[in-house]
Amino acid sequence: MLGIVTPTKNRSEYIIRQLYYYVSVECPYTIYIGDSSDAAHEKRILSVIDKLRGRVKVVYRKIDSSVCSHGVLGELVGLVKEKYITYVGDDDFLVSDSLGKCIEFLEVNPEYVTVQGKGVLFGLDKKGAYGDIEAFGLYSSRGCEMETPIQRLHNILNDYWVLDFSVFRTEEYRQIADCRNMQSTGFVSDAQFTEILIGWLSLIRGKSKGLDCLYLFRQVGHHRYDWGGGTLEWITKPDWRSSYKIFHDNLTEALTQQANITREAASDIVKQAFWKHFAGGVCRLIQRQKASKKRIIAFRDKVKRIPCIKYLYKNIKRRIPGVQKAFCLENLLKRSSPYHKDFMSVYNVITSSEEKIASEIF
């Protein structure tokens, strides 16, 4: 019914952690792993997959390390046989039961292209895949249910969030993924363009639903892949201009078809939308740089022992006016929380160890 696609490279501990989670909750979905790891990590992953045979469905594909992450994703998408598809990073989690709720929604709501639930960010007290949670907060995720493509595009511009982790119908996602890889018109090699592209193309095609369920866990910290620095580093990349052109042309074509407007009008909308998004990022950068030295020092002194807190603080402060009580760590740990069961299924894996989980599973 659903394929979960996950690229990975030299991070076997995170992929193995995911697989142990899927087994612990008896996940009924197929896991597609695109592995660009060296021999040592590859051997570890394959060993665990072999031991878990019959307990979780895994499709493993070895991919050359020279292939970029978007190329890996493209290969995985081509393998998926299930009706629905979603993507998750190798260090993140999608709640198995909530994936089922997303599928049920798409089954009866054809005007929606994507659906997702609520997400949380977490950081651990030490490097690696396991440890105690030291930083925690709500991750920005919501729906977008305006009637027209242009209205939905303006909506995400006013409050941007990432749709990559949503559940899609596989055939629709393939069409979007083809645009991400630009097999016929060139290749968008820039990671930031591809993230924006999948979200905007999705909302041009149809509505997005945000369900009231705990859906996504995203781990933050220095272990994350480097997508290329800040705004200045982004726009000075050699492939920025070519990536922007492909980005612009494909969005223009999609908007022309879905909104039934001229190509010229669609092009103007895409240009205005992109530069509004771009200018917002620049303004946020300037605001952060203008913060007084005293405030920076005070904040740094309070959080200097938590390496992932800057990323966490940025996402919470910019997008959410105060962390909702229902999604603070203390309340999620309470049995009275409506999200407790789904939260604990992931929490118990994160705060354990690979050896302990393995001993319980085998």
Over residues 174-178, mean pLDDT: 79
Strand stretches in 205-248, DSSP E: 207-219
Which candidate, 211, 207, 3, places its Cα nearest to that of 113? Answer: 207
8 close to 63: Cβ distance less than 8 angstroms: no
| Contact residues for 173 (Cβ-Cβ < 8 A; gap 6+) | 77, 85
| Residue 226 pLDDT level (bands cut at 50, 70, 90) | very low
329 close to 121: Cβ distance less than 8 angstroms: no
| Residue 10 pLDDT level (bands cut at 50, 70, 90) | very high
Where b means 16+ CB within 10 Å and e means fewer, 222-249 reads ebeeeeeeeeeebeeeeebeebbebbbb
> Domain coordinates of the chain in residue numbers?
2-361
Q: What percent of the chain has pLDDT over 70?
A: 77
Identify the three-state secondary structure at position 296. Answer: helix
> What pTM was computed for the model?
0.82
Over residues 222-244, mean pLDDT: 62
pLDDT at 72: 82
| Residue 34 pLDDT level (bands cut at 50, 70, 90) | very high
pLDDT at 279: 66
pLDDT at 326: 78
C-alpha neighbours within 13 Å on the C-beta side of residue 6: 26
pLDDT at 146: 93
Mean pLDDT of the chain: 82
With a cut of 90, say whether residue 166 has pLDDT above it.
yes
Name the helix (H) or strand (E) containing 112. strand 112-124
For strand 207-219 and strand 112-124, is the pairing parallel, antiparallel, or unpaired? parallel
42 close to 69: Cβ distance less than 8 angstroms: no
| Residue 117 pLDDT level (bands cut at 50, 70, 90) | very high
| Residue 186 pLDDT level (bands cut at 50, 70, 90) | very low
Where b means 16+ CB within 10 Å and e means fewer, 92-102 reads bbbbbebbbbb
Q: What crossing angle do the helices spanning 69-79 and 170-181 adopt, rounded to 10°? A: 150
Over residues 71-88, mean pLDDT: 91
Largest Cα span, the chain = 62
With a cut of 60, say whether residue 182 has pLDDT above it.
no
With a cut of 50, say whether residue 313 has pLDDT above it.
no
Specify which of 274-278, 288-292, 331-335 reaches the highest per-range mean pLDDT.
Answer: 331-335
With a cut of 60, say whether residue 318 has pLDDT above it.
no
CATH code for residues 2-361: 3.90.550.10
* Beta pairing partners, 169: 84
195 close to 268: Cβ distance less than 8 angstroms: no
| Residue 69 pLDDT level (bands cut at 50, 70, 90) | low
113 close to 177: Cβ distance less than 8 angstroms: no
Over residues 275-299, mean pLDDT: 54
Over residues 14-27, mean pLDDT: 96
With a cut of 80, say whether residue 305 has pLDDT above it.
no
pLDDT top residue among 224 and 359:
359
Over residues 212-222, mean pLDDT: 89
Which candidate, 47, 45, 40, 38, places its Cα nearest to that of 14? Answer: 45
C-alpha neighbours within 13 Å on the C-beta side of residue 132: 3
pLDDT at 60: 97
Over residues 100-124, mean pLDDT: 96
102 close to 116: Cβ distance less than 8 angstroms: yes
Where b means 16+ CB within 10 Å and e means fewer, 168-200 reads bbbebbbebbbbbbbeeeebbbbbbbbbbbbbb
| Residue 222 pLDDT level (bands cut at 50, 70, 90) | low
